[in-house]
Every structure is written in C-alpha cells, then in structure tokens.
Amino acid sequence: MTFNWKIGKLTILALTLLAGIGVSFVSAQTPAPGSKNVKAAHTWQDDLAPLKKYLDKDGGYKDKTGGYFNPKAGTYTDKDGGVVDNWGGYTYKDGSYKSKLGDFYDAPTKTFKLADGTVSQLGVMTAEDAISALRDNVEVNGGYDKDMTLKSMIMRIKLDHPLVPVKPKPQ
C-alpha cells in the first residue's frame, strides 16, 4: 500500500506540473498573424445590416418615443430637442452641456460648474469652445466611444421592432 500511495502522490505532482506547463504551450499554439484562420474584426455595421429596412435615406432612425438617431453625426436628439453625443454628453436646447463625467457648462451665464465643485465664469469662451473642452476632458479620461450612437440605435431598433418567432406550419 505504501508503494501505491507514493505513486498516487507522484501522479498528482506530475499532473500539476504538466497542467502548469500546458498553460505556457497554449499561447505558442495560437495561429500566427496573417494566417488563413484569422477572422475579420467585429463591426457594428455587421449588426446593422439586417436592420437597414428601418433606417431613413440618411441612415438615421426615428424611434417610437420621438427621438432621432443620426449615426453619421454621432448624435441622438430626444423629443425635447436635447442632444446626446458620442462622448456621453447632453446638450440642452439653450446650448448648455453636461458631460459624461458630471461637469456642466451653463451657456446663458457662460459658467462652468465642474463635478469637483469648482465654479468659474469664462465670458470670452463660446459655447462651442466650452463643449469642445468638456468633450476633450471626457476623451482624455477614456469616455469617448465613436460607435456609441450607432450601438444605441441598433439596440433601440431591436427594442422597437422585436423579432417575432416563426411558428412551424402543421404537417
């Protein structure tokens, strides 16, 4: 019995070592770049292809709540006239802007109200410059998604037009 116990212990040790070695072999067995097994990267255009029948002539989509997706401009305009952009920010009808990070530009008073509590008034800055500065800050912090509007539009189309399961015909 002592002999079998030692063999069992050695077997477990060998399997543990082989499993550890096997992990390093896995990366060596992946196909080299440029080989024939490389798949094309996923694009959101692939997801949009079967939904094109719901798009207007400009490639946009008016949802059931009255909003409009414009993937070319990277914006979604809600029924109230506010605009969401690919930076995750929201532009109000009066030109004010709230960034994804919580920073706010009040266009009528030309005042920045930052998420950290800082308030500053910059009278010489245009609303476009202020929005651009807030967007740049979001982008620097990894918050820009060039496909955000497109992805949101695809999800909205799928919600507005769910696939109806086809019932099999009786035979």
pLDDT score at 6: 43
On whether the CB atoms of residues 114 and 105 are closer than 8 A, the answer is no
pLDDT score at 109: 93
Helix locations, the chain, DSSP H = 2-28, 44-48, 127-140, 148-160
pLDDT score at 125: 85
Residues 6+ apart with CB under 8 A from 125: 110, 133
3-state SS class at 89: coil
Residue 3 CB: number of other CB atoms within 10 A? Answer: 7
Query: pLDDT of 92-145, one tens digit each?
Result: 999 999 999 999 999 999 999 999 999 999 878 899 999 999 999 999 999 999
Which DSSP letter does residue 18 get? Answer: H
68-70, strands of its sheet edge to edge: 61-62, 68-70, 75-77, 83-85, 90-91, 97-98, 104-106, 111-113, 119-121
Query: pLDDT of 52-103, one tens digit each?
Result: 888 999 999 999 999 999 999 999 999 999 999 999 999 999 999 999 999 9
> pTM of the prediction?
0.67
